[in-house]
Structure formats: structure tokens, C-alpha cells
Amino acid sequence: DGGITQSPKYLFRKEGQNVTLSCEQNLNHDAMYWYRQDPGQGLRLIYYSQIVNDFQKGDIAEGYSVSREKKESFPLTVTSAQKNPTAFYLCASRMGGLGNQPQHFGDGTRLSIL
Amino acid sequence: AQSVTQPDIHITVSEGASLELRCNYSYGATPYLFWYVQSPGQGLQLLLKYFSGDTLVQGIKGFEAEFKRSQSSFNLRKPSVHWSDAAEYFCAVGRPSGGGADGLTFGKGTHLIIQP
């Protein structure tokens, strides 16, 4: 079945560490997105990529980095510069073109600080 | 900048009763509008979308939504809720840059509780 796979489901980070969250899709979608979800805050856009080897900052990109070397993959690194990384992280993808094509979401990764 | 407001943080409805979840947006042009549902610890599932045409759109699981340009609203409705509808519901609008392709702006969500 086609879909979006996020791993791991739970992730723990020590202070000062970088961690990388994986997002893989086999939907042949051109665009991919990362969102952060905090309780009572909805989802906020971190980074997005509409084509391979290109990505753009969203609303809360500070302390995060991404790469898009393959169409299927869009990993997110939470760096030590992100002072409040504890959150639920959601990856999404969509077909290219205008925004009437909906985003499809993975099941998320919950990141916690030890 | 565009924004999405979901005025109700929590809503409690009896099983079998009707439901309406409110969503208001601010946007300069005709927006791309979406409703998503999220079960605890899970990702988001698309319920329905609107981008043009008939202002009453049908979605999955018996949900519908009506786009009202004059009120900048896109309210979600269901005539009779089931216990399995208990979840978090998010309204979202496509960001205006990139023709709506540059990600979504979400409301803060409405938590739906179903009473037996």
C-alpha cells in the first residue's frame, strides 16, 4: 500500500544532541512538508520541499534543518539550537501543482527531552 | 498573513445528535480549504476539501462542509454523530504563495467528545 512512513514513532534526545527524524513516501509525490504539533496549538510549518534538491523555510524553521536528496525522502534534523524540541512531528506529502491537491500525513514522531 | 480560527476548543455532543464545527479564515482570494481529523497519537486524515464550484462539499464518514464567502467560514457538519467520531478536528487553508502549494495554515483544532 502507498503511504508515508515516519520513524521512529518515539524518540528521546539528551540536551545538546542533534537528532534526525525520518520520513519516507512511496506515493510518487513531488512535495513534502514537516509540521510541528504542540498541545492546543494546531500544526505549524517547519520546512517544505516542492522538488528534489530544493527546500524552503516555513514559519518556525529556527533550530531545524532538512535535506531532499531523493524524491521519496525528506529527513528532518532537530539541532541543539532548538531550545524547546519536545513536540509531535508530522510529515506530509502531496502531488505537485496548485494547492487544491491535499496533503497526506504520516503517523508522526513524538520527540521528548531526557 | 492568512489565519484560521476555530472558536471552539472543546465540543461535547450526544451520540446520534447533529454536529457543527466552526471555522473562519482570513484570506485575500478564494482559498483552498480543508478539514482533517486526528485520532490520539496518529497522523491527520483528510475529511474533505474545497477549492471551487459547489459551496457544499461532501466528504468521508458522512461529513459535509459549506463554504460561505460572505462570512469567511467553512463549517463542518454531520447529521448524526457516532462514538467513533470522537477525535480532534482541524480546519486548514492553503498558503497563498506558490498557488497554495507552500504548505497549510491550520487552526488550533476542536476536540470532539461524544456522550453515550
Give the whole-angstrom CA distance, residue B30 versus residue B39.
29
CB contact under 8 A, B104 and A45: yes
Contacts of B107 in chain A (CB under 8 A): 42
Cα angle, residue A69 at apex, residues A67 and A12 outer, rounded to 5°: 40
Question: Is the pLDDT assigned to residue B25 strictly greater than 90?
Answer: yes
pLDDT of residue A15: 86
Give the whole-angstrom CA distance, residue A106 versus residue B42.
8
First to last CA, chain A: 35
Any CB–CB contact under 8 A between B59 and chain A? no
On average, the pLDDT of chain A sits at 93
Q: Mind listing the pLDDT tens digit for each residue in A42-58?
A: 999 999 999 999 999 99
Q: Mind listing the pLDDT tens digit for each residue in B33-71?
A: 999 999 988 899 999 999 888 899 999 999 999 999 999
Cα angle, residue A42 at apex, residues A12 and B6 outer, rounded to 5°: 160
DSSP B83: G
